[in-house]
Amino acid sequence: MNKIGDELIRWYRENKRDLPWRRVHDPYEIWISEVVLQQTRVTQGITYYHNFLKKFPNIFTLAEAETEEVYKIWQGLGYYSRARNLHQAAKFIVEKYAGSFPDEYAKLLEIKGVGHYIAAAIASIAFAQPYPAIDGNAYRLFTRLFGIELKLGSSALKKEVLRIVSGIIPQKSPGDFNQAVMDFASIVCTPKSPDCINCPLSGYCFALSNNRQTDFPVKPLKRKPKDRFINYYLFSDGKKLLIRKRKSGDIWENLYDFPNTESSNAEQPRFYDLVSENHPCGYTVKFVSEIIRHQLTHQTLFVTFSEIGCNILPKIEDFHAESLKHLGNLPWPRLITRYLEKRDKEQSTANY
């Protein structure tokens, strides 16, 4: 009756990875692991998981933290709204539930940044409730097994896979089952060349029997990434730099970066577009970097960095001066961190 579930559990017992969040059932730690791993590979997320829990060991330490600290721990991981939502959610849980994690699926869904997948993951792993945690791995596995042609992301597919997994997930150890599905799909039923030879489910697989493994899941048409041209200007008097906290409604919300101009083509704008009036001390362009091509999921960034020397830092709205030493405590986009590190290395040899 439930061959697929049994085979998955059997496979999991013998092949599961020894990951840190597999050793705990504390909903807080499970929650953190799920948010870290959202759209993120295990190899990339694992150090962030450790660092985060070391800095914020429980819901109270997280709730009491400064937002800036939470962002700083998240620096370099991407999708920074996750950090913002974690912090906001921790405060919400402390306030509404006195810091005790809700164990009801519906209440978990009310938490900012917790959707159907994470709610099911927490409910099943931390509270042993049989909610199917259906992520990208699960969609790939079950569309192949059952030959489901519905498009990834469609509500029809969500409904259909939920129906199927609901009939398979065991009442006992549903958390193990959910993790079995994900581990199995990420190790055996992989996106590119699935290991069908060694697959214990090969006898049940529609895709394999029709030699159509890579036809599933059916992906939505992808649009071409938009180009975006950003030119950064590092106004420096040798001691301080002009920086700002980025506003909402754009990439890298609440992170820091430098004065910049943007244009719709590769033609490079000039830094004095930023400075309305002539500055008595004048400016010296000391260095202009090559164009750095930065590929994001939905846009391609073409970025340059210009070092602008001056005796007195110009006044630009929303920007303020910070000493070079203080910069290390602030959260930066990875792109900017890389440049700052390179800059720091070069300046330690050649005196600026």
Partner DNA sequence: CATGCGTGGAT
Partner DNA sequence: TATCCAAGCAT
Binding site for DNA (CB under 7 A): 19, 21, 33-34, 37-44, 76-81, 85, 111-119, 121, 135-137, 140, 153-156, 179, 182-183, 185-186, 190-192, 219-220, 222-223, 226, 250-253, 293-299, 333-335
Catalytic residues: 34
DSSP 212: -
Q: Which residue reads 């997994």 in tokens?
A: 165
Burial 204-220 (b: 16+ CB within 10 A, else e): ebbbbeeeebeebbeee
Nearer to DNA, 85 or 308 (CB): 85
Nearer to DNA, 92 or 272 (CB): 92
Burial 248-257 (b: 16+ CB within 10 A, else e): eeeebebbbb
Residues shown for the chain: 352
Give the alpha-carbon dihedral of 122, 125, 131, 133, to 10 degrees.
70
Nearer to DNA, 105 or 287 (CB): 105
Q: How far is the CB of 228 from DNA (least distance, A)?
A: 9
Nearer to DNA, 4 or 121 (CB): 121
Nearer to DNA, 113 or 314 (CB): 113
Q: How far is the CB of 276 from DNA (least distance, A)?
A: 27
Give CA–CA dist 270/282, Å, rounded: 14
Give the type of residue at 221: L
Q: Which residues contact 333 (CB under 8 A, 6 or more apart)?
A: 251, 252, 255, 257
Q: How far is the CB of 286 from DNA (least distance, A)?
A: 25
Helix (H) / strand (E) element for 88: namely: helix 81-97
Q: Are residues 114 and 131 in contact, defined by beta-carbon separation less than 8 angstroms?
A: no
Nearer to DNA, 205 or 310 (CB): 205
Q: Which residues contact 164 (CB under 8 A, 6 or more apart)?
A: 142, 146
Q: Are residues 62 and 56 in contact, defined by beta-carbon separation less than 8 angstroms?
A: yes
Q: How far is the CB of 136 from DNA (least distance, A)?
A: 3
